[in-house]
Amino acid sequence: MDIIVQKFGGTSVATEELRKKVASKVVATKEAGKSPIVVVSAIGRRGDNYATDTLVNMATSVYDGDNARDLDIIMSVGEIISSVILSNTIKSMGYKSQAVTGFQAGIITDNHFGDADVLKVDNKYLMDLLNKGIIPVVAGFQGVTEAGEITTLGRGGSDTTAAILGEALHAECVEIYTDVDGVMTADPRVVKKAKVIEEIDYEEIYQMADEGAKVVHPRAVAVAKRSNIPMKVKNTLSDSKGTIIIQKNHYLRKARKSLEEENMIRAIAHKSNISQISVFFDDNMEDNDILMNNLTKFQVSIDLINFFTDKKVFTVDNKDLNKVKNILEENKFKYSIIKNCSKVTAIGHKIRGIPGVMGKIVRALSHSGINILQSSDSYTTISCLIKEEHIEKAVNALHAEFNLDK
């Protein structure tokens, strides 16, 4: 049985017209002799009647205390509504379909409400439907604990649902449908000349997602990579080929080529709403331990980390800034904060240590009048912290510098 998992986001199922387009794509897959499993997000986005944020606001307007278990129940409702409506749309076209909740689909999680991890999947229910020729439409983003408690998988959880089901059912591929033609060399809303990347490696797309590209959730990419299932990113509104994400072997090379020959930089990603923190020490290791232990205790994720003898410099998302300030004030640390920052990241395979990459980045930003506040690199990324007001100019400058619009 050739199973294809097809995931459609909230904007893809927001209107009756769009749902008919989605249903047509699902039916076409069925007519091609494949066995589709559909995964859907909640209808629409913030402000729409059944969007997840709307449902959460309804609950928190009454009580905004520690309520993660109950919030997971209401957050799961949007996807259930979406699955029933899309399933009925497919039925109206003369095909057998059935709405399926995440827990009916056999997705068993831990009890970390709001951001649960999947422990296992019992695929029997879905396989029974497929064997009967029924198209399952699964509510994404949700699962159930072994004790029967409803859970949600965190932001981007429907992508994770699709990847997890693809792995559990040994799918031929997982298709992620969005409102763009595929994975782009940069955010097309920022770079008008951004191009579709026809083929990309798991590690590269993981870094793109992790560094701010909102195409596929990093968790979903990690699942697809470990199970070696091809993932395709396609446009709901067109028949474009899209982007295929696979394990690419052509990076295994006998001799290093030049930067231009390798075409190593594949995309430019960016992330905003960041603050840079500098904490000053008097060479006191105990203070260092206090700082790090408190950041861990209050679940503050830090990035762009540069530690020196006399100071520690790192960045945090603005949502965690008050937590950090409280930690610093309570422990009487000397510190400074630079707000309104953004991170711009060049992404490619094995770029660390390649002569010329950092030089091109510095030159492009400098020629655009942009100061680099901080930088870091990894095996596949080079990131620069800049002022948020320059982010659009920076992304365009780097996109042009590495000839990504060609």
Does 402 show up as a binding residue in the annotation?
no
> Does 203 show up as a binding residue in the annotation?
no
Instruction: Compute CA distances 360 → 329, 346, 357, 394, whole Å.
Output: 40, 11, 5, 12
The phi and psi torsions of 25 (rounded to 5 degrees) equal -70, -40
Establish whether 8 is an annotated binding residue.
Answer: yes
According to the annotation, is 144 in a ligand binding site?
no
Q: Is 215 assigned a ligand-binding role in the annotation?
A: yes
65 carries a ligand binding annotation: no
Q: Is 178 annotated for ligand binding? A: yes
Instruction: Say how far apart CA 76 and CA 101 lie, in whole Å.
Output: 9
Cα gap 208→234, rounded to integer Å: 17
Is 10 annotated in a binding site? The answer is yes
Rg (CA), the chain: 23
Phi, psi angle pair for 341, to nearest 5°? -110, 160
Beta sheet of 142-145, edge-to-edge order: 118-121, 107-109, 142-145, 150-152
303 annotated as ligand-binding: no
- Residue numbers in the known binding site for ATP are 7-10, 178-179, 189, 214-215
Binding residues for substrate: 52, 79
Residue list for the binding site: 7-10, 52, 79, 178-179, 189, 214-215
